[in-house]
Chains A and B, each alone.
Chain A
Amino acid sequence: MSETTLTHSSQTEPRPAGWQGIAADWSSDQRAFKNVSWGKAMMWIFLLSDTFIFGCFLLSYMTARMSTRVPWPNPSEVFALHIGGSNVPLILIAIMTFVLISSSGTMAMAVNFGYRRDRRKTAILMLLTALLGATFVGMQAFEWTKLITEGVRPWGNPWGAAQFGSTFFMITGFHGTHVTIGVIFLIIVARKVWRGDYDTGRPGFFTSRKGHYESVEIMGLYWHFVDLVWVFIFAFFYLW
């Protein structure tokens, strides 16, 4: 079935109002979400499920932090960089956040050019997004290295509650894994765009199905989600 067939819904009868209208819309013929392709619907539902995973991680972290009886390390000191003779709090994380948010911008532009069928610009912008994502992961690796050399371990750290290290490595690690997977898929989709797979209808290697430029947008949904999650991790870890 075609992924991007944008046909109009076949609504002939007058639509009921209020709650009945909502129920009727949801339960309407053939598709609950009109003009939403299978791939896009699947990505949205996956992201909903993934939200629960990150939600559980963050709630567990909050529980640990609120119930601890030993001091929690002070984020503005722990995450400070020593630059030019003074400690600049949160400077690295500010740059990382800036990089990741910028990558959402380039991703949105890639989606736009994808729908204009501009192969070159789409692919370049996707690769730029991947580059920014990789930069983010690189800086995260730097941050991890710095903390590890200062003695932070999953099972303990020099400054206080052991849960600081464990939740930090676990949650940023899980998020970093998401970014890394995103980078890999960005490169794969960018290659397909560059090669013109979506213009020629070349079947996928595994699925043997034709791809569409909508894949760029679905890729973008995932990328923006990973960005959004970072905003919460940033707020709860670094600003609390």
Chain B
Amino acid sequence: MVDITPADAVPPAEVGEMELYHPHSWWTKYVFSQDAKVIAIQYSATATAIGMVALVLSWLMRLQLGFPGTFDFITPEAYYQFITMHGMIMVIYLLTALFLGGFGNYLIPLMVGARDMVFPYVNMLSYWIYLLAVLVLVSSFFAPGGPTGAGWTLYPPQAIMTGTPGGQDWGIILMLVSLILFIIGFTMGGLNYVVTVLQARTRGMTLMRLPLTVWGIFTATVMALLAFPALFVACVMMLFDRALGTSFFMPAIVEMGEQLQHSGGSPILFQHLFWFFGHPEVYIVALPAFGIVSDLISTHARKNIFGYRMMVWAIVGIGALSFVVWAHHMYVSGMHPYFGFFFATTTLIIAVPTAIKVYNWVLTLWRGDIHLTIPMLFALAFIVTFVNGGLTGLFLGNVVVDVPLSDTMFVVAHFHMVMGVAPILVIFGAIYHWYPKVTGRMLNEALGQFHFWVTFLGAYLIFFPMHYLGLVGLPRRYAELTDMTIMTESAHHLNSFISIMAFIVGFAQLVFLFNLIWSIRHGREAGGNPWRATTLEWQTSETPPVHGNFGKELPIVYRWAYDYSVPGAKEDFIPQNVPGSFGTSKEPA
């Protein structure tokens, strides 16, 4: 119940106005901008650009898998390089950067009612270091020996040995340097996001009134600040192993009949460090998606989110639990059975808060006024895809089931469904949702429908058959499978089919890119609040919002973000900054 009278409910401002840097030239306004919204667009554009590289790499891989022996230029070495760079780019340089650097920068200040991030200069540096990291990564394509082909997990000892592409050339060094730069840049941005959410909210915006989008991005950022250090340390140590000849991760080893200088290092130590980062990373990508999809569903079903508090606790709970499950990626590396037992148990416990979230999304839709807009379509597609990927996660979380399925296409199907396709679907939905705020124009609806159906159905047709391929025993990361007995006729046809679908889905993304550019000028005028949404970013006086986000006065928040279809209210939505009490809101007291 929000039976508050505005006069006594609004506390005085606890902190004064933010000092903003006002740009003096074109360069400081659009290039070296300290405005979080410009930085967000820079992040998003860079992430999308490098993501296109990863998309093309996936095409090249599918060419080889679908039509083996047809394309001579795809050598096994090149195949490994494609697979490595595809994975690394998609997980870190695209998904992490786009969700946190892109959506985080754009939405956090607007949604919490702040003029900007708390330290805009540091925020700007964050982007430029990210860009440098991307450039270093791209440069490895042109370095002697090409990029590293060690697999995105970069497991030693093979990552820095002669047989692996880039292992004794530039590839692995540039990869590690790029990751270290990424982490430094991310930390600068991440500190900003966290402090902005914690300390710079507008009047009336308690944490329990935050839109779930902010909760998701905030929790993911906290996790990233605690998980990336492990990757940082692992990268530094492997860089020393490769460049200085230390033996952190390198055991005594014979290569090409020659004993290497290394001795006494522990490859398993790297795996622990990597997955202490790597598993939280899955949720660093997933939690912003969870948050955003909650807001999309609530807005487009014109109904308050079901169980808001539980949604918040589920996000926080998943975030905390994800730090104690990492070794489920290492069941086949060999570990004490009790450890396997422990990590299997914690892994399955994560299913509880995750299931709470899925039920709450479905219950939000239940008897809602569902508008099948493009963002809503993507949100629904996310739920279906995520449930699918989550269920196979239950398979792989169990030690006994995981061991035979390990390193098969089943695993590829699982993680692409749960942390590849599902978050990407949310990104698309979110872009269709917020594009009108960023540009003032709607994206083209017909192209959007085409993009949605091809992407959603196509992604299913790509990844669903992979479960079958995995169950029949098709291993992953093999460049050439034709001579293997498990490579049956049906498996081969399926592989060709998957490859063709991959091209079709990839083509649909080009249509989407075209839509993004075309609609900037030719899209339908959107107005300030086309979706009739409640959150603060839709209440700005100008669209697109100007530097400083809000007009002279910061908005004051009187209610939670989910007052949709409140019984007794005139409109079917009540923005967060509208005072007074209307009807019977479902806001938790």
Q: Which of A32, A50, A57 contacts B199 (CB 8 A)?
A: A32
Q: Does B370 contact A (CB under 8 A)?
A: no
| Set of chain B residues within 8 Å of A161, measured between Cβ atoms | 264
Q: Which 6 A-B pairs have the closest CB atoms?
A: A27-B207, A10-B11, A52-B229, A166-B246, A56-B233, A1-B18
Which of A26, A50, A162 has the most CB atoms of chain B within a 10 A radius of its CB? A162
Chain A: how many interface residues by the 8 Å CB criterion? 54
Given A1-B18, A30-B14: A45 in contact with B194 (beta carbons within 8 A): yes
Q: Does B118 contact A (CB under 8 A)?
A: yes
Q: Does B12 contact A (CB under 8 A)?
A: yes
Q: Which of B15, B119, B206 contacts A27 (CB 8 A)?
A: B206
Known: A27-B208, A49-B226, A60-B233. 8 other contacts (CB 8 A): A1-B19, A12-B11, A38-B118, A38-B200, A46-B187, A60-B273, A154-B240, A155-B261
Q: Determine whether the beta carbon of B15 is less than 8 Å from that of A64.
A: no
Kindly state the separation between the CA atoms of A27 and B197 in the bound complex, as whole angstroms: 11
- Which residues of chain B from 1 to 15 have a CB within 8 Å of any chain A CB? 8, 11-15
Q: Does B136 contact A (CB under 8 A)?
A: no
Q: Which of A67-75, A95-103, A107-115, A132-140 touches B? A: A67-75
Q: Which of A10, A49, A64 contacts B14 (CB 8 A)?
A: A10
Q: Does B339 contact A (CB under 8 A)?
A: no
Render A1-43 as a binary contact track against B, CB cut-off 8 A, 1 for contact: 1100101011010000000000000111111111011110110
Q: Does B134 contact A (CB under 8 A)?
A: no
Q: Determine whether the beta carbon of B203 is less than 8 Å from that of A36.
A: no
Q: Does B484 contact A (CB under 8 A)?
A: no
Q: Determine whether the beta carbon of A207 is less than 8 Å from that of B264.
A: no
Kindly state the separation between the CA atoms of A42 and B15 in the bound complex, as whole angstroms: 16
Q: Determine whether the beta carbon of A162 is less than 8 Å from that of B226.
A: no
| Set of chain B residues within 8 Å of A76, measured between Cβ atoms | none
Binding site for B on A (CB under 8 A): 1-2, 5, 7, 9-10, 12, 26-34, 36-39, 41-42, 45-46, 48-50, 52-53, 55-57, 60, 63-64, 67-70, 154-155, 161-163, 165-167, 170, 174, 206-210
* B553–chain A nearest beta-carbon distance, Å: 15
Given A38-B199, A63-B266, A163-B264: A31 in contact with B15 (beta carbons within 8 A): yes
Q: Determine whether the beta carbon of B206 is less than 8 Å from that of A29.
A: yes
* B76–chain A nearest beta-carbon distance, Å: 31
* B128–chain A nearest beta-carbon distance, Å: 13
| Set of chain B residues within 8 Å of A26, measured between Cβ atoms | 207
- Which residues of chain B from 212 to 245 have a CB within 8 Å of any chain A CB? 225-226, 228-230, 232-234, 236-237, 240, 244-245
| Set of chain A residues within 8 Å of B276, measured between Cβ atoms | 56
Given A7-B15, A31-B199, A170-B237: A206 in contact with B265 (beta carbons within 8 A): no
| Set of chain B residues within 8 Å of A52, measured between Cβ atoms | 226, 229-230
Q: Does B320 contact A (CB under 8 A)?
A: no
Q: Does B182 contact A (CB under 8 A)?
A: no
Kindly state the separation between the CA atoms of A46 and B13 in the bound complex, as whole angstroms: 26
Kindly state the separation between the CA atoms of A162 and B17 in the bound complex, as whole angstroms: 56
Which of B18, B247, B269 has the most CB atoms of chain A within a 10 A radius of its CB? B247
Given A1-B200, A52-B229, A64-B266: A155 in contact with B237 (beta carbons within 8 A): no
Which of B119, B192, B200, B264 has the most CB atoms of chain A within a 10 A radius of its CB? B264
Q: Determine whether the beta carbon of A53 is less than 8 Å from that of B229.
A: yes
Q: Determine whether the beta carbon of B205 is less than 8 Å from that of A30.
A: yes
12 A-B pairs within 8 Å (CB atoms) are namely A10-B12, A27-B206, A29-B14, A30-B202, A31-B201, A48-B226, A57-B233, A70-B264, A154-B245, A161-B264, A162-B247, A166-B240
Q: Which of A30, A69, A70, A163 contacts B201 (CB 8 A)?
A: A30
Given A5-B15, A29-B11: A42 in contact with B233 (beta carbons within 8 A): no
Q: Does B142 contact A (CB under 8 A)?
A: no
Given A31-B15, A209-B19: A166 in contact with B261 (beta carbons within 8 A): no
| Set of chain A residues within 8 Å of B528, measured between Cβ atoms | none
Q: Determine whether the beta carbon of A33 is less than 8 Å from that of B198.
A: yes
Measured CB to CB, the nearest residue on chain B to A174 is B236
Q: Determine whether the beta carbon of A30 is less than 8 Å from that of B269.
A: no
Kindly state the separation between the CA atoms of A235 and B247 in the bound complex, as whole angstroms: 23
* B579–chain A nearest beta-carbon distance, Å: 15
| Set of chain A residues within 8 Å of B226, measured between Cβ atoms | 48-49, 52
| Set of chain B residues within 8 Å of A67, measured between Cβ atoms | 266
Kindly state the separation between the CA atoms of A33 and B244 in the bound complex, as whole angstroms: 45
Kindly state the separation between the CA atoms of A30 and B194 in the bound complex, as whole angstroms: 13
* A176–chain B nearest beta-carbon distance, Å: 14
| Set of chain B residues within 8 Å of A162, measured between Cβ atoms | 246-247, 263-264
| Set of chain A residues within 8 Å of B225, measured between Cβ atoms | 45, 48-49
Q: Determine whether the beta carbon of B246 is less than 8 Å from that of A28.
A: no
Which of A36, A60, A206 has the most CB atoms of chain B within a 10 A radius of its CB? A60
| Set of chain B residues within 8 Å of A31, measured between Cβ atoms | 14-15, 198-201
Given A52-B230, A155-B245: A69 in contact with B264 (beta carbons within 8 A): yes
Kindly state the separation between the CA atoms of A174 and B235 in the bound complex, as whole angstroms: 14
| Set of chain B residues within 8 Å of A39, measured between Cβ atoms | 119
Q: Determine whether the beta carbon of B240 is less than 8 Å from that of A5.
A: no
* B261–chain A nearest beta-carbon distance, Å: 7
Q: Does B103 contact A (CB under 8 A)?
A: no
Kindly state the separation between the CA atoms of A154 and B265 in the bound complex, as whole angstroms: 13
Given A53-B232, A64-B266: A30 in contact with B203 (beta carbons within 8 A): yes
Kindly state the separation between the CA atoms of A56 and B199 in the bound complex, as whole angstroms: 29
Q: Determine whether the beta carbon of B229 is less than 8 Å from that of A206.
A: no
Kindly state the separation between the CA atoms of A87 and B208 in the bound complex, as whole angstroms: 63
| Set of chain A residues within 8 Å of B204, measured between Cβ atoms | 29
Given A38-B118, A42-B118, A56-B230: A170 in contact with B15 (beta carbons within 8 A): no
Q: Determine whether the beta carbon of A33 is less than 8 Å from that of B199.
A: yes
Measured CB to CB, the nearest residue on chain A to B194 is A45
